């Protein structure tokens, strides 16, 4: 190319956002402008392949800014409205991938195979005349004249426009190890604190709840400050494991517990095993049961409320009450301890499981540093950013991919025509 450029638009990172950027940069580029996407991985798309349990939860039928955290809702909304969930459905249908809606609202390919999604994206990149350069790990980027030098294991590349789509730090073995944050910083950006998100939570060693490993139950989790103020609630399914808490409810609340705990180490996580019911309601019911079924053991009375194994353990370990005690013999503090174990059990979270087990990264480059009509950097001309690298993380349900599709498309299109 003229002026010593090897490319007109170069994208670093061939994940969901980078592949989308490559497709839309390629489709919108004026020939002979060259578009390429470089990635350190030998095999492209590892994270797409493991997503959604190998089925790839491509998007959700309803996507709103409230499904995300990190940057401000109105900033996130600006990008989401450029490419909605329906647009994702149409886009994939055009690529020959039909999506089906499950009763949770999650959308998956009808084949139930993430490979279908990845193969379609790779073919679309090719059809858009964009090139994928795998095994091109980038080690540094710098500005040169009105373009960029991208240093890779295979030598330097020179590009007029640069799109950073390097993802976050979750599942680092897929190639997303956080190096891209350094590129953004070296080009003038800042970074909000990054932490694992959608990550299981670890209970103190040998905690009695871990003996219920494998048990799944609907709960409402709450993050409470050291003064007792509830700052976040999350309803959903909880999976108890040998180390602590997993399943959608725990994963969804994890980033909120981590953020609160970083500021206030006295932050607690409370479990309500009777979602939608309050301490007062359950206490009133147990008082009534004392009158009608006073001779029955407390644990057996709870079988109508929670699973048997759980009832036994909540009474014995959560409330420290002999589980065979007849209802009528419970004194008031004991009855209230049982009600508390059922509706507001504080659990000692000692840490999260870290990036190895996190599905996304919270934090990143703030959207305030991005022109949200184009995904262009406000700090560095010619630079565009998209995907998980930015300070946006969604809850479980296809929202993170929707963010990647929307922001990647906008970045690719804008870089090509900008």
What is the binding site for ligand FAD (CB under 6 A)?
12-18, 38-41, 47, 50-52, 56-57, 137-138, 165-167, 170-171, 175-176, 179-180, 359-360, 387-388, 398-401, 404
CB 194 within 8 A of CB 364: yes
From residue 370, give the alpha-carbon distance in Å to each of 3, 59, 180, 374, 410: 28, 24, 16, 8, 12
In angstroms, give the least distance from the CB of 227 to ligand FAD. Answer: 34
Residues 372, 8, 121, 362: what is their CA dihedral angle, to the nearest 10 degrees? Answer: -40
Between 178 and 275, name the residue whose CB sits nearer to ligand FAD.
Answer: 178
DSSP conformation class of 275 = T
In angstroms, give the least distance from the CB of 136 to ligand FAD. Answer: 6
In angstroms, give the least distance from the CB of 364 to ligand FAD. Answer: 10
Say how many C-beta atoms besides its own lie within 10 A of residue 353's C-beta. Answer: 18
Between 18 and 109, name the residue whose CB sits nearer to ligand FAD.
Answer: 18
Between 52 and 200, name the residue whose CB sits nearer to ligand FAD.
Answer: 52
In angstroms, give the least distance from the CB of 374 to ligand FAD. Answer: 17
Between 38 and 413, name the residue whose CB sits nearer to ligand FAD.
Answer: 38
Distance CA 214, CA 299 (A): 21
Between 195 and 400, name the residue whose CB sits nearer to ligand FAD.
Answer: 400
- What b/e readout covers 287-306, taking b as 16+ CB neighbours within 10 angstroms? eebbeeeeeebbbbbbeebb
In angstroms, give the least distance from the CB of 57 to ligand FAD. Answer: 3
CB 286 within 8 A of CB 302: no
In angstroms, give the least distance from the CB of 70 to ligand FAD. Answer: 12
Distance CA 95, CA 124 (A): 7
Q: What are phi and psi of 159, to 5 degrees?
A: -135, 150
Between 382 and 387, name the residue whose CB sits nearer to ligand FAD.
Answer: 387
DSSP conformation class of 327 = G
């Amino acid at each position: 190319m003229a002026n010593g450029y090897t490319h007109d638009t170069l994208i670093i990172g061939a994940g969901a956002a980078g592949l989308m950027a490559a497709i839309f940069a390629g489709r919108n580029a004026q020939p002979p402008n060259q578009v390429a996407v470089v990635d350190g991985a030998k095999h492209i798309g590892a994270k797409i392949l493991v997503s959604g349990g190998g089925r790839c939860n491509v998007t959700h039928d309803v996507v709103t800014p409230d499904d995300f955290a990190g940057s401000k809702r109105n900033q996130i909304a600006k990008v989401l409205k450029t490419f909605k969930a329906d647009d994702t459905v149409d886009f994939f249908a055009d690529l020959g991938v039909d999506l089906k809606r499950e009763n949770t609202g999650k959308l998956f390919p009808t084949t139930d195979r993430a490979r279908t999604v990845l193969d379609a994206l790779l073919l679309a990149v090719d059809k858009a005349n964009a090139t994928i350069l795998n095994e091109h790990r980038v080690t540094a980027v710098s500005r040169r004249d009105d373009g960029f030098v991208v240093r890779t294991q295979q030598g330097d590349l020179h590009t007029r426009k640069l799109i950073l789509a390097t993802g976050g730090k979750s599942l680092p073995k897929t190639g997303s190890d956080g190096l891209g944050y350094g590129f953004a910083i070296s080009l003038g950006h800042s970074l909000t604190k990054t932490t694992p998100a959608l990550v299981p939570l670890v209970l103190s060693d040998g905690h009695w709840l871990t003996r219920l490993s494998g048990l799944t139950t609907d709960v409402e989790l709450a993050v409470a400050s050291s003064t007792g103020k509830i700052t976040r609630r999350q309803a959903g399914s909880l999976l108890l494991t040998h180390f602590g808490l997993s399943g959608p409810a725990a994963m969804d609340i994890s980033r909120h517990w981590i953020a609160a705990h970083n500021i206030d180490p006295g932050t607690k996580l409370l479990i309500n095993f009777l979602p939608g019911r309050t301490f007062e309601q359950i206490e009133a019911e147990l008082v009534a049961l004392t009158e009608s079924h006073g001779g029955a053991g407390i644990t057996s009375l709870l079988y109508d409320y929670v699973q048997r194994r759980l009832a036994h353990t909540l009474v014995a370990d959560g409330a420290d009450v002999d589980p065979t005690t007849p209802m009528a013999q419970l004194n008031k503090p004991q009855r209230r301890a049982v009600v508390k174990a059922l509706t507001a059990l504080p659990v000692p979270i000692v840490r999260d499981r870290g990036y190895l087990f996190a599905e996304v990264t919270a934090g990143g480059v703030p959207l305030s540093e991005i022109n949200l009509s184009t995904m262009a950097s406000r700090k560095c001309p010619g630079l565009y950013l998209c995907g998980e690298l930015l300070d946006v993380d969604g809850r479980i349900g296809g929202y993170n991919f929707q963010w990647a599709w929307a922001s990647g498309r906008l970045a690719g299109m804008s870089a090509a025509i900008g």
